[in-house]
Amino acid sequence: MAKLYFSYSAMNAGKSTVLLQASHNYRERGMHTYLLTAAVDDRIGVGKIGSRIGLEEKADTFRAGDDLYERIAEHHELQPITCVLVDEAQFLSDEQVWQLARVADRLGIPIMCYGLRTDFQGNLFPGSARLLAIADVLREIRTICWCGRKAMMVVRLDQDGRVLEDGDQVSIGGEESYVSLCRRHWDDRNIGPEGQLKMFL
């Protein structure tokens, strides 16, 4: 039976690297993978999944309101899909997560989702909340805080490097905008000694 997987982490833990490696492993064995990423994330260009270590792959994009079950089913008819891999899964809607679950349950295609669990205010993203509730398998991809503890949270920085307390839940940015922290240092809004900050971004 195909399963719905959710691999989650704080920022800069290597989620996209893990996704691209998984896709490569399937394709190396002659299998076909279908990659999806959020259209809103255009850091390296729309329709691309990229990692901080330089790996990059083209992907279809999803937006609010897209029917992912219908799209995957149509693609599967044209060319059988072995596995669907979804990057930036936190941006999925509640209904889109259910659509992916139906792909696993009714079409028998494994769905591997990768995304953030919480935003910079410590709140669950809608897509992540539904995935945590209904995914068959949950996996944590770990990264570390500047202090060496496991980073579970993320803070958003303004252009001067100050921690922001308010703002929209979705604001696309990378290492210049976000810092992953352990719960204690997130609670203290302590991004670490200036000399260590760049090292652990």
Determine contact, residues 10/119, Cβ cutoff 8 Å.
no
**Mean pLDDT on 108-121:** 92
Maximum C-alpha span of the chain: 54
Percent of the chain with pLDDT over 70: 85
Among the listed ranges 36-40, 105-109, 129-133, which one has the minimum average pLDDT value?
A: 36-40
At residue 168, the pLDDT reads: 60
* Mean pLDDT value of segment 69-80: 96
Pairing outcome for strands 4-9 and 48-50: unpaired
Report, as an integer, the average pLDDT of 148-156: 89
Annotated binding site for ATP: 9-16, 87-90
Q: How far apart are CA 131 and CA 35, in angstroms?
A: 18
pLDDT band at 198 (very low <50, low <70, confident <90, very high): very low
- Per the CB < 8 A criterion, the answer to whether 157 and 179 are in contact is yes
* C-alpha distances out from residue 86 to 70, 115, 156, 196, Å: 15, 8, 24, 32
Q: What is the pLDDT of residue 192?
A: 85
pLDDT of 166 above 70: no
CA distances from 21 to 15, 69, 83 (A): 10, 24, 13
List the catalytic residue out of 28, 77, 88, 175. 88
Q: Domains (ranges, CATH) in the chain?
A: 4-140 (3.40.50.300), 153-200 (no CATH)
Q: What is the DSSP string of 48-110?
A: EEE-TTS-EEE-EEE-TT--HHHHHHHHHHHS--SEEEESSGGGS-HHHHHHHHHIIIII---
Q: Which residues are annotated as a binding site for Zn(2+)?
A: 145, 147, 182, 185
What residues form the annotated binding site? 9-16, 87-90, 145, 147, 182, 185
Judge whether 88 counts as a catalytic residue: yes
Residue 53 is predicted with a pLDDT of 64
Nearest residue to 178 (alpha-carbon basis) of 195, 194, 193, 197: 197
Q: What is the pLDDT of residue 182?
A: 92
Residue-wise pLDDT for 8-55, tens only, equals 988 777 788 889 899 989 999 999 999 999 887 666 666 677 676 667
Specify the pLDDT at position 164: 78
64: how many CB neighbours lie within 10 A of its CB?
A: 12
Instruction: Say if CB 150 and CB 182 are below 8 A apart.
Output: yes
